[in-house]
Amino acid sequence: MTDVMDGVDRSTPELMALQVEILTRIHEAQVRQRDLLEAIRAQQEALVEAARTPVAQTLPAVKVIDLNMPFPALAGTLVKVALAAIPAALALGAIGLAVTLAAIVVRQALGG
């Protein structure tokens, strides 16, 4: 038999030994990856547990009392928000129209 990788004629036991070696390397790499994932999971659990500590839960709530912004800047910001809402409304309208048309087609196909 000829090995595809290097073109050398090898017997079946030699090919099996090469396959075992490759599979062993793959297994070792998977074990290393599993260990890394377990370490990452442990770090994430530690972060979640730290967020549950009484210190994190007793932090004062934030309350905005005043927004010191000149009126022209505020008006400009509101105009930008209104202009940004137009494409969003058009997109949502198109999605709603598509869903409605699909429901009509399905209903008529079912004989309703």
Q: Is the pLDDT of residue 4 over 60?
A: no
Cα–Cα dist 100/41, whole Å: 44
List the domain boundaries for the chain: 1-63, 64-112
Cα–Cα dist 61/66, whole Å: 16
Output the CA torsion sign for 62, 68, 73, 75. positive
pLDDT, tens digit (0-9, with 9 covering 90-100), for 28-69:
999 999 999 999 999 999 988 887 777 656 777 788 888 888
Q: Where are the beta strands (DSSP E) in 1-112?
A: none
Tokens of 7: 């073109």
SS3 state at 53: coil
For residue 2, list its beta bridge partners.
9
